[in-house]
Amino acid sequence: MPELPEVEAVRAGLARHVVGRTVTAVEVLDPRPLRRQDGGAEAFVRGLTGRVLTAAVRRGKLMWLPLDDGAALSAHLGMSGQLLVRGTSALGDGETTDPSRLLADGPRSADLTATRAPSLVRNLSVRPTHLRVRLHLSARDGDPGPDNGAGGAALDLVDQRMFGGLHVTDLVPTPDGAPGGAGSPDALLPADAAHIARDLLDPALDRRGAVARVRSSGRAVKTILLDQRVVSGIGNIYADEGLWAARLHGLRPGSWLGPRVAARLLEQTAAVMERALAAGGTSFDALYVDADGAAGFFARELAAYGRAGLPCRRCGAPMRVQTIGGRSHTSCPRCQSRPRRPRR
């Protein structure tokens, strides 16, 4: 499943290519991704047609596109969902092909909406396999024009496994009054996302509170990291990577961690995700791409996830994999020793 860096790469592409455009028509080729839409496909089409996409926002692994009527198009990619832009210009306004300028002040402060140029301009006449929903968008200066197979641009939801989804929903104020997520200063978020905690790259995250939530649970720390109510955006990949970087085994209970250890774990996990963002995310196959269809390259830098049997990049011991809470956990038996129950 795409995690924070991969979803941010998609959000960045949407910010480049679709923000400011009007939805001129909506095609629902398969209504199953709209299963969360009140009123079904008809309400979905009615809620989007004629509306302007005003921003592209992300919190954790959830994205939404605010509309000019105060509602929003909420999007979750699930296991294999893709949001692909078609019929737009090769470079957005003010975009650069040189990522070094944007990353000069460090990944956290960088504008990640333009770290890489789109790989190609897509023809609107092409309908990819597993296309479920297509939003037709208004044209703007710089678009290829009628040669792309139709006027304007399009935003496609392509989903092979059907775990992703779209729905139009209301926006509500954030409980803390801070911006809802990356990509907008507005203190709003989708009504059905109020339970999702802020992510580790969110400047508004209460870090002391996040540390306290980790330490308040007796569950395995790997399971805690995956809980989107504690901190959002972390999945199996970056949980394993953060635990490896912090030299912690995933079975260690959160309540056994001291404040400094818990804080270091969150800091290390955030640092891993920042590096992944700079590389465009982690792509294992053609399902994991950004809005331009480009793959990320962080897979080659992974230290733990998917490396069972390979030597630890730190000490050389063979990495091991086990199951924690129904999820795989790859760790180093030497650097990340399994926890032992304290003597009574």
Amino acid at 205: L
* The one catalytic residue among 207, 313, 320, 327: 327
Task: Say whether 241 is catalytic.
Answer: no
* The one catalytic residue among 21, 51, 58, 61: 61
* The one catalytic residue among 3, 6, 8, 274: 3
Task: Say whether 61 is catalytic.
Answer: yes
Task: Say whether 222 is catalytic.
Answer: no
Output Rg (C-alpha) for the chain, integer angstroms.
21
Collect contacts of 89-96 with beta carbons under 8 A, ≥24 apart: 89/121, 89/142, 89/143, 89/144, 90/117, 90/118, 90/120, 90/121, 91/117, 91/118, 91/142, 92/16, 92/17, 93/142, 95/16
Task: Say whether 3 is catalytic.
Answer: yes
* The one catalytic residue among 2, 33, 118, 190: 2
Rounded Cα distance, 10 and 218, in Å: 35
- Residue 297: count other Cβ atoms within 10 Å of its Cβ: 14
> What is the full DSSP assignment across 131-152?
EEEEEEE---TTS--GGGSSSS
| Residue 105 CB partners (closer than 8 Å, separation 6+) | none
Is the Cα torsion angle 44, 46, 50, 55 positive or negative in sign? negative
Strands 320-324 vs 165-173: parallel, antiparallel or unpaired: unpaired
Task: Give the catalytic positions in this structure.
Answer: 2-3, 61, 327
